[in-house]
């Protein structure tokens, strides 16, 4: 794919390189991730790919494997929403993990329930509208 096609899809060069590298190693990654017995083992498989961190690994575990315990540490809004729903105040990633500890094994399920059934933190400020550089 030409670089402009990646850009049109909203991806920068580092992201496109990660996708291409993962596709090249696709079968071995799928085999290793499927053979992993728990979330930490799957994290090690995904993080071994250049450009993949703990957030991407958790999101992959959630979507591809339906992991009921995966938590997207590093997500910009998640910790704030979980903290607000469970305590009425914002929290950081460490605070979120502490709040979710009693639900170990089902933390992703609790997060999903918070998003569909709890009062979400009020929004502040104007929304950001990404600028499209293709027209220039």
What digits encode the pLDDT tens for the residues 61-97?
A: 999 999 999 999 999 889 999 999 999 999 999 999 9
pLDDT at 135: 66
When comparing pLDDT for 109 and 1, which is higher?
Answer: 109
Mean pLDDT of the chain: 90
When comparing pLDDT for 131 and 39, which is higher?
Answer: 39
CA dist., res. 66 & res. 54, Å (int): 16
Asked if residues 125 and 109 have their Cβ atoms less than 8 Å apart, the reply is no
Share of the chain above pLDDT 70, in %: 99
Question: By CB neighbour count within 10 A (0-12 exposed, 13-18 middle, 19+ buried), where does 121 fall?
Answer: middle
| 43 Cβ neighbours under 8 A, 6+ residues apart | 54, 57, 58, 61
How would you label 78-92 residue by residue, b for 16+ Cβ within 10 Å and e otherwise? Answer: bbbbbbbbbeeeebe
């Amino acid at each position: 794919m030409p670089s402009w096609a990646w850009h049109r899809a909203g991806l920068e060069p580092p992201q496109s390189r990660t996708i291409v590298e993962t596709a090249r190693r696709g079968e071995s990654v799928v085999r290793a991730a499927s053979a992993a017995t728990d979330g930490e083992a799957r994290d090690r498989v995904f993080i071994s790919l250049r450009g993949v961190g703990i957030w991407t690994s958790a999101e992959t575990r959630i979507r591809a494997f339906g992991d009921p315990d995966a938590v997207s540490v590093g997500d910009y809004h998640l910790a704030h929403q979980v903290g607000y729903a469970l305590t009425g105040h914002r929290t950081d990633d460490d605070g979120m993990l502490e709040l979710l500890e009693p639900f170990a094994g089902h933390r992703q399920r609790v997060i999903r329930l918070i998003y569909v059934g709890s009062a979400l933190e009020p929004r502040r400020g104007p929304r950001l509208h990404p600028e499209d550089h293709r027209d220039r």
